[in-house]
Chains A and B, each alone.
Chain A
């Protein structure tokens, strides 16, 4: 079954004419029967076969890619998993999808997510939750849960997600995939339905670190349509693959927070491989990640209340009575914390604590090349777990929130697998701003020298 191949394998086999696009598309089509159970894709691209065959000679060779449903895709329905946008068909492409298409990628379909990307479970989707393909009693995480599940279930070769605070890395951890969250401003936000504009970062969700580097090469770089996109130079990120990590200084953070006990003993032994490869590993004291929850909650709600103000049902979509519970909560809390008399207490305070996190990371990166933590404080939660708590996501994402509010890049790699539940733990590798290559190098070394990536294992057989 060709759908179980990695992106790098597919590209190599297409190039060598070992396989054809038609065979690949046929196997992906067969794998899509899982959609009925898992609810991964909301909309499929009906013109996929035609789009693909025209691109055989390109860099991405017409390979289909799963795209999170908050990326505007020209002519393909885009809902952000909210019924407010039930019939919205964008007239233009996001910069990310435009670039992927220009490189020869084809949109396979649009993946389920938490509505407006508000959440860490996909349970707030107004089109029903997605199930975790590794164990359907459990959640895939979110908000890019559909993209991570599509890759984990081999229903897609690779996918695109977006992260505001954990939304690429946490579902990747829960589904056992690789998820790369770039530096804020490294990948354009143009045409991505905005959530929190000061932290939104699109990025790849893939089977291997190599695949993430391949896709990242195509989407990274300055975009004049996004004022916050950076002009700092991009690199060939695949050049970081297979490089030695000898002499690298690694700081391990967030190991002393309460509630980690269950998984700490599974995670810590995994750090040994870095020492075997010649890196120096030590525990580092970082600012309490608990404070990032408050910062993120205030900043995110405030920016949501502003960004979702544009949904009036006039130019597109339905009116504001169609918002789900979570969106209502967030819009209204943001409105409150920005209102007269409260903006200093909440909004300004949060932005000051954000400065402290930035200063803390600056100090840490004077001592360490990369920082490592768990991505999520545990395994994927059972279905229904997010219901009844207004703070579910923020607590689940506590370990990735500090790097999100400060705009740092991070990558999730699977670092443990429980054979009883078939669920994985994820490792979060963080680097200084614009140093994605460094974390890709470390993540790739870990993946290749451990047993936790199922696609790498299949390759060895």
Chain B
């Protein structure tokens, strides 16, 4: 069975800008990949529980204390930022002004 993936919608959800040409190539690639994945449907999994964590760990927590060794100075934290303003990161605008 052929699976039609809504490529441009998925691109929007994943926040990946793509061209029309890329959209066609991605459609073909997804078809190839999903054809392999579809073979899983032939495996009998009735009564089988899913495994999300292979070594069986559950709810690993740590003490809620500050580890100063891991703290950055403001300067260090901003060192790799493309754009900064008054010691803060500049982020893309997501809410319109009016």
Contact = CB atoms under 8 A, between A and B. Distances in A.
Interface of A: 87-89, 91-92, 183-185, 198-199, 224-225, 227-228, 230, 290-291, 293-295, 297-298, 305, 309, 313-318, 320-321, 323, 325, 328-329, 331-333, 335-337, 339, 346, 348-356, 358, 389-391, 394, 405-407, 433
Contacts of A355: 45, 48-51
The B contact surface, by secondary structure, is loop
B58 to A, nearest CB: 11
Most buried by A among B60, B62, B72: B60
B95 interface: no
Nearest to B83: A314
Given A315-B89, A321-B17, A336 B40 contact: no
27 contacts: A198-B53, A228-B53, A228-B55, A228-B60, A291-B43, A294-B36, A294-B37, A294-B39, A295-B40, A305-B14, A313-B82, A314-B89, A315-B81, A316-B80, A317-B80, A328-B26, A331-B14, A332-B16, A336-B30, A348-B50, A349-B45, A351-B51, A352-B48, A352-B50, A354-B51, A355-B48, A394-B36
Contacts of A350: 37, 40
B24 interface: no
Contacts of A358: 51, 54
A394 B39 CA distance: 14
Nearest to A323: B16
Contacts of B97: none
B32 A390 contact: yes
Interface string B66-87: 0000101000110111100000
A350 B18 CA distance: 28
Contact of A352 (B34, B38, B45, B57): B45
Nearest to A294: B40
Contacts of B53: 198, 228
Given A316-B80, A354-B54, 12 more contacts: A228-B57, A309-B15, A316-B81, A318-B82, A320-B17, A323-B16, A328-B22, A352-B51, A353-B48, A354-B50, A356-B45, A390-B32
A199 B60 CA distance: 17
Contacts of B70: 92, 225
Contact of B80 (A88, A290, A333): A88
A79 B87 CA distance: 25
Given A91-B72, A294-B36, A355-B48, A314 B91 contact: yes
Nearest to B31: A390
Nearest to B41: A349
Contacts of A225: 70
Contacts of B17: 320-321
B4 to A, nearest CB: 11
Contacts of A315: 77, 80-81, 89
A391 B54 contact: no
Interface residues of B, number: 49
Contacts of A305: 14
A446 B16 CA distance: 48
A351 B51 CA distance: 5
B81 to A, nearest CB: 6
A333 B33 contact: yes
A7 B36 CA distance: 42
A229 to B, nearest CB: 9
A83 B3 CA distance: 32
B40 A320 contact: no
A455 B52 CA distance: 40
B93 to A, nearest CB: 12
B55 A407 contact: yes
Contacts of B34: 333
Contacts of A317: 80
Contacts of B80: 87-89, 91, 315-317
A72 to B, nearest CB: 11
Contacts of A184: 54-55
A337 B81 CA distance: 32
Most buried by A among B15, B36, B45, B54: B54
Contacts of A323: 16
Across the A-B interface, give the 10 residue pairs with the lowest CB-CB distance, nearest first: A351-B50, A316-B80, A407-B54, A390-B29, A294-B40, A352-B45, A227-B60, A335-B14, A355-B51, A352-B48
A172 B79 CA distance: 36
A297 B38 CA distance: 11
B15 to A, nearest CB: 6
Contacts of A88: 80
B92 to A, nearest CB: 8
Contacts of B82: 313-314, 318
B26 A185 contact: no
Contacts of A230: 55, 57
Nearest to A186: B55
